[in-house]
Amino acid sequence: GQAYPWHGDKQQGITTPRPAVGMLVAFDVLARDRDGLEQLLRTLSERIAFLTQGGSYEQRDPRYPPVDSGILGPTIDPDGLTITLSVGASLFDERFGLADVKPRQLERMTAFPNDALDAARCHGDISLQFCANSEGTTIHALRDIIKNTPGLLMVRWKQEGSVPVMAPRPDGETESARNFLGFRDGTANPPADDRTLMQQLVWVDRSNDEPAWAHNGSYQAVRLIRNFVERWDRTPLQEQEAIFGRRRDSGSPMHGGVEHDLPQYAGDPDGSVTPLDSHIRLANPRTHGSERNLILRRPFNYSNGVEANGQLDMGLLFIAYQADLQAGFITVQKRLDGEPLEEYIKPIGGGYFFTLPGVQAGDYLGSGML
């Protein structure tokens, strides 16, 4: 399987193509001082380097516990694994004396009107986003990291998800995967392989009012959004399409065409074709200036089990990246507040994190802020 380079000015897992499996794990840091935090960041860097590049574990005297869980066998295949390390606002509290270097917009996520946040599935000092081609790889990596950070790190919450990887069609078009509400998701995403655009939208640089160490990092907005799928499946198709502002089967705009045709709002000022309160028109009104609010979405679908009332616990592990959290996720979510889709969704967890810049040879993730 593919190995993504470990050294670079930016971390992997953001503009990297999204593979089939994703997992977001938030942790509390148990280290008590800056030395402990440095030890943690060094260990995480060393484990991420090994896990994403692959290799063999050294055999050990069988009188001791084995070095790893063994679930992938003795040799680790990279399997397209990326592990992306981000930090929450709480890491910059009094414990480590880092208040002065906090990314300017990093704050604790506050509830939006439709949220019913479960404290046990919110926030964290650190988030690790694991993405790979198969679930065994992400689980193995998480267990390796937990095993190697005793006394330094504790899991706070975790959410796994998956998404079908779409092969290009014979005509070269690539259709977007569907979410659990049956619609294609990712259609209007800014293209992650456009480096200039990503530099503007996703990566912090000199154009942002941020500490120098944070350049080449990004804001990560995570939301666990339950979908009320039983109710959705009893909703008329025309209502579903009006709620999103796209056709369900093709993913095209309401006026037809193919998935990647741009929606036309200019000749539709009163929303008789694409409703003004549809998800896509609120999220991106495509008016002059609204291009400042573009975000890079990289979500996964989740299916957890069953609620006490017999309803399926399914939804979207929403993950979005942007250089400017206020202009990005927060502005877009405020525009979406009150949207008709809210009858079918309930955000129950998540948090805001800052994805650290990448790492150079001999260095470790986060060295710039210590």
What is the DSSP track for 286-314?
Answer: --TTGGGG--EE--EEEEEEE-TTS-EEE
Stretch that binds ligand HEM, among 156-164, 206-214, 220-228, 306-314 (CB under 6 A): 220-228
According to DSSP, residue 143 is labeled: H
CA 194 to each of CA 15, 215, 350: distance values in angstroms, whole numbers, following the listed order: 9, 18, 28
Among 316, 319, 323, 359, binds ligand HEM (CB under 6 A): 316
Residue 246 binds ligand HEM, judged by CB under 6 A: yes
Closest CA to 187 of 257, 244, 260: 260
Please report where in the chains the tokens 């999103």 appear, as a residue.
244
- The residue (of 114 and 367) whose beta carbon lies closer to ligand HEM is 114
Among 92, 219, 265, 318, binds ligand HEM (CB under 6 A): 318
Residue 187 binds ligand HEM, judged by CB under 6 A: yes
CB of 186 to ligand HEM, least distance (A): 5
- The residue (of 28 and 261) whose beta carbon lies closer to ligand HEM is 261
**Token pair of 71, please?**
């679930």
Residue 140 binds ligand HEM, judged by CB under 6 A: no
Closest CA to 48 of 173, 185, 142: 142
x/- mask, ligand HEM, residues 281-310, rule CB under 6 A, reads --xx----------x---------------
In terms of C-beta density within 10 A (0-12 exposed, 13-18 middle, 19 or more buried), how is residue 163 classed?
A: buried
Residue 319 binds ligand HEM, judged by CB under 6 A: no
What sign for the dihedral angle of Cα 326, 329, 333, 336? positive
- The residue (of 214 and 280) whose beta carbon lies closer to ligand HEM is 280
CA dist 296 and 191 (Å) reads: 8
Residue 188 binds ligand HEM, judged by CB under 6 A: yes
User: Which amino acid, one-letter code, is at 136?
Assistant: G
Stretch that binds ligand HEM, among 54-62, 129-137, 184-192, 268-276 (CB under 6 A): 184-192
Question: Whats the size of the chain, residue-wise?
Answer: 370
Among 102, 223, 247, 298, binds ligand HEM (CB under 6 A): 223
Residue 227 binds ligand HEM, judged by CB under 6 A: yes
**Token pair of 15, please?**
């503009």
- The residue (of 151 and 256) whose beta carbon lies closer to ligand HEM is 256
Determine the 3-state secondary structure of 209 from DSSP: coil
List interacting residues with ligand HEM (CB under 6 A).
Answer: 179, 181, 183-188, 223, 225, 227, 244, 246, 279-280, 283-284, 295, 316, 318, 329, 332-333, 336, 345
